[in-house]
Amino acid sequence: MSGTVAMHSVFVYGSLMADDVVRLLLNRVPPTSPAILPDFHRFSIRGRVYPAILPAPADKVSGKVLFGITDDELYILDEFEDIEYERENVNVFLTDSSEKLETKAYIWANKDDPDLYGTWDFEEWKQVHMEGFLKMTTEFAQEMKFPESSET
């Protein structure tokens, strides 16, 4: 008999705002809601096509919340975000209801990274980098290794 499955919500603000990327990773597109993360800034990163967020008073990051993320899916997202990000709990505001929600988000681990600059733009990313990013994500998903299950 299996235990209860924890469901998580995750605020996404970069490549994971693209349904095609999420579908490649999770084999589905979970329910979403547009959201704002207050007091953070979304940076571009030199040499990378994805963004980083760090705390920044009086700024905000628009993105969306993925709802109903299972423990296994959270593991996939953790692996995808790699060690450069730390998963933390944050408070966001859902833009369609103004509801405040505690959710998980991936925060850039190196708070003093000299490669962070400017503001990352999702629309520009979709036009310039999404096709190549989808190829990379497909390769990642095919190579994804899951921890051994404790169930028999």
81 is catalytic: yes
Annotated catalytic residue: which of 81, 88, 124, 139?
A: 81
Q: Which H, E and C letters describe the chain, residue by residue?
A: CCCCCCCEEEEECCHHHCHHHHHHHHCCCCCEEEEEEEEEEEEEECCCCCCEEEEEEEEEEEEEEEEEECHHHHHHHHHHHCCCEEEEEEEEEECCCCCEEEEEEEEECCCCCCCEECCCCHHHHHHHCHHHHHHHHHHHHHHCCCCCCCCC
Report the catalytic residues.
81
